[in-house]
Structure 1
Amino acid sequence: MTGTPLPNTLCPLCNSANQCVPAAENSFAGPCWCQNVTVSPQAIAAVPASQVGQACLCPRCAVGLRSSKGIQALAGSADTV
Protein backbone atom coordinates (compact mmCIF):
# COMPACT_ATOMS: atom_id res chain seq x y z
CA MET A 1 0.00 0.00 0.00
CA THR A 2 1.06 3.55 -0.50
CA GLY A 3 0.37 6.66 1.54
CA THR A 4 -0.08 6.95 5.26
CA PRO A 5 -2.73 5.09 7.26
CA LEU A 6 -5.30 7.08 9.20
CA PRO A 7 -4.42 7.18 12.92
CA ASN A 8 -7.81 5.83 14.00
CA THR A 9 -7.24 3.08 16.54
CA LEU A 10 -10.81 2.47 17.73
CA CYS A 11 -13.32 0.06 16.21
CA PRO A 12 -16.27 1.92 14.66
CA LEU A 13 -18.70 -0.74 15.91
CA CYS A 14 -17.76 -1.18 19.58
CA ASN A 15 -15.29 1.63 20.25
CA SER A 16 -12.69 -0.85 21.55
CA ALA A 17 -9.05 -0.79 20.45
CA ASN A 18 -8.99 -2.16 16.90
CA GLN A 19 -5.41 -3.45 17.19
CA CYS A 20 -4.62 -1.98 13.77
CA VAL A 21 -0.84 -2.11 13.43
CA PRO A 22 -0.65 0.37 10.50
CA ALA A 23 -2.79 2.93 12.37
CA ALA A 24 -0.74 2.54 15.55
CA GLU A 25 2.62 2.69 13.75
CA ASN A 26 1.61 5.25 11.12
CA SER A 27 2.99 2.96 8.43
CA PHE A 28 1.80 0.19 6.11
CA ALA A 29 5.27 -1.45 6.34
CA GLY A 30 4.34 -4.13 8.89
CA PRO A 31 1.72 -6.88 8.81
CA CYS A 32 -1.60 -6.56 10.60
CA TRP A 33 -3.86 -9.16 12.21
CA CYS A 34 -6.58 -8.46 9.61
CA GLN A 35 -4.48 -9.98 6.84
CA ASN A 36 -5.11 -13.43 8.29
CA VAL A 37 -8.87 -13.41 8.86
CA THR A 38 -12.05 -13.33 6.84
CA VAL A 39 -14.05 -10.28 7.85
CA SER A 40 -17.74 -10.96 8.42
CA PRO A 41 -19.95 -9.42 5.72
CA GLN A 42 -22.46 -8.60 8.48
CA ALA A 43 -19.79 -6.66 10.37
CA ILE A 44 -18.87 -4.69 7.26
CA ALA A 45 -22.55 -3.91 6.64
CA ALA A 46 -22.94 -2.69 10.23
CA VAL A 47 -20.26 0.00 9.94
CA PRO A 48 -21.94 3.44 9.96
CA ALA A 49 -21.65 5.16 6.57
CA SER A 50 -19.70 8.03 8.14
CA GLN A 51 -17.05 5.56 9.37
CA VAL A 52 -16.54 3.51 6.18
CA GLY A 53 -12.89 3.72 5.18
CA GLN A 54 -12.02 5.70 8.30
CA ALA A 55 -11.08 3.04 10.87
CA CYS A 56 -10.56 -0.71 11.08
CA LEU A 57 -12.79 -3.09 12.98
CA CYS A 58 -11.44 -4.83 16.08
CA PRO A 59 -10.75 -8.58 15.78
CA ARG A 60 -13.94 -9.56 17.63
CA CYS A 61 -16.23 -7.38 15.52
CA ALA A 62 -14.44 -8.32 12.31
CA VAL A 63 -15.22 -12.01 12.73
CA GLY A 64 -18.76 -11.29 13.90
CA LEU A 65 -18.34 -12.14 17.58
CA ARG A 66 -19.91 -8.86 18.69
CA SER A 67 -23.13 -9.50 16.76
CA SER A 68 -26.14 -10.34 18.89
CA LYS A 69 -25.90 -14.03 17.89
CA GLY A 70 -22.15 -14.06 18.54
CA ILE A 71 -22.55 -12.48 21.95
CA GLN A 72 -25.21 -15.04 22.87
CA ALA A 73 -22.93 -17.85 21.74
CA LEU A 74 -20.11 -16.48 23.88
CA ALA A 75 -22.23 -15.99 27.00
CA GLY A 76 -20.34 -17.58 29.86
CA SER A 77 -17.29 -18.22 27.68
CA ALA A 78 -13.83 -16.78 28.29
CA ASP A 79 -12.82 -17.18 24.63
CA THR A 80 -11.18 -14.16 23.03
CA VAL A 81 -10.00 -13.38 19.55
Structure 2
Amino acid sequence: MSNTSINEKLCPLCNQPNNCHMHQTEAGECWCIAVTIPQELLDQIPEYLKNKACICKTCVDNFNTKNK
Protein backbone atom coordinates (compact mmCIF):
# COMPACT_ATOMS: atom_id res chain seq x y z
CA MET A 1 0.00 0.00 0.00
CA SER A 2 1.17 3.51 -0.75
CA ASN A 3 1.31 6.44 1.64
CA THR A 4 0.37 8.73 -1.24
CA SER A 5 -2.87 10.62 -0.67
CA ILE A 6 -5.67 9.78 -3.06
CA ASN A 7 -7.28 12.54 -5.09
CA GLU A 8 -10.41 11.04 -6.63
CA LYS A 9 -10.56 13.93 -9.13
CA LEU A 10 -7.30 12.81 -10.81
CA CYS A 11 -6.82 9.93 -13.20
CA PRO A 12 -4.84 7.14 -11.50
CA LEU A 13 -2.83 6.59 -14.70
CA CYS A 14 -1.81 10.10 -15.82
CA ASN A 15 -2.64 12.26 -12.76
CA GLN A 16 -4.66 14.68 -14.88
CA PRO A 17 -8.27 15.69 -14.05
CA ASN A 18 -10.60 12.77 -14.81
CA ASN A 19 -13.74 14.95 -15.06
CA CYS A 20 -15.75 12.37 -13.16
CA HIS A 21 -19.21 13.76 -12.41
CA MET A 22 -19.43 11.62 -9.29
CA HIS A 23 -16.87 13.92 -7.68
CA GLN A 24 -18.10 17.24 -9.05
CA THR A 25 -20.69 19.55 -7.58
CA GLU A 26 -22.76 19.98 -10.75
CA ALA A 27 -25.27 17.29 -11.58
CA GLY A 28 -25.21 15.41 -14.82
CA GLU A 29 -24.33 12.14 -16.45
CA CYS A 30 -20.65 11.23 -16.43
CA TRP A 31 -18.81 10.83 -19.75
CA CYS A 32 -17.89 7.25 -18.84
CA ILE A 33 -21.50 6.04 -18.99
CA ALA A 34 -21.28 6.04 -22.80
CA VAL A 35 -17.99 4.10 -23.12
CA THR A 36 -16.63 0.68 -22.31
CA ILE A 37 -13.37 0.76 -20.38
CA PRO A 38 -11.28 -2.28 -21.34
CA GLN A 39 -10.25 -4.63 -18.54
CA GLU A 40 -6.65 -4.43 -19.78
CA LEU A 41 -6.68 -0.71 -19.03
CA LEU A 42 -8.34 -1.18 -15.65
CA ASP A 43 -5.61 -3.70 -14.80
CA GLN A 44 -3.01 -0.92 -15.18
CA ILE A 45 -4.41 1.03 -12.22
CA PRO A 46 -2.15 0.73 -9.17
CA GLU A 47 -3.75 -1.56 -6.59
CA TYR A 48 -4.10 1.16 -3.94
CA LEU A 49 -6.07 3.34 -6.39
CA LYS A 50 -8.47 0.69 -7.71
CA ASN A 51 -12.09 1.70 -7.09
CA LYS A 52 -10.86 5.00 -5.62
CA ALA A 53 -10.27 7.22 -8.68
CA CYS A 54 -11.64 7.12 -12.23
CA ILE A 55 -9.57 6.86 -15.40
CA CYS A 56 -9.80 9.96 -17.62
CA LYS A 57 -11.29 9.97 -21.12
CA THR A 58 -7.90 10.77 -22.66
CA CYS A 59 -6.34 7.61 -21.20
CA VAL A 60 -9.30 5.53 -22.39
CA ASP A 61 -9.13 7.05 -25.89
CA ASN A 62 -5.34 6.63 -26.09
CA PHE A 63 -5.57 2.99 -24.99
CA ASN A 64 -8.32 2.24 -27.52
CA THR A 65 -6.38 3.94 -30.34
CA LYS A 66 -3.20 1.98 -29.57
CA ASN A 67 -5.07 -1.31 -29.30
CA LYS A 68 -7.30 -1.24 -32.38
TM-score normalised by the shorter chain: which range applies?
0.7 to 0.9
Q: Which residue of 1 aligns with 2:15?
A: 15
Identity %: 33
Bigger Rg, structure 1 or 2: 1
Between 1 and 2, higher relative CO (CA 8 Å, sep ≥ 6) is seen in 2
Q: Which runs of 5+ in 1 are unaligned?
A: 1-6, 71-81
Letter of the 1:8 partner, please give it: E
CA distance in structure 2 between the aligned counterparts of 1:20 and 1:41, rounded to whole angstroms: 19
Match of 1:54 among 52, 55, 58: 52
Matched, 1:41 2:43: no
Q: Which runs of 5+ in 2 are unaligned?
A: 1-6
- The TM-score with structure 2 as length reference comes to 0.73
- The TM-score with structure 1 as length reference comes to 0.63
Task: Provide the aligned C-alpha RMSD in A.
Answer: 2.5
How many residues align structurally? 61
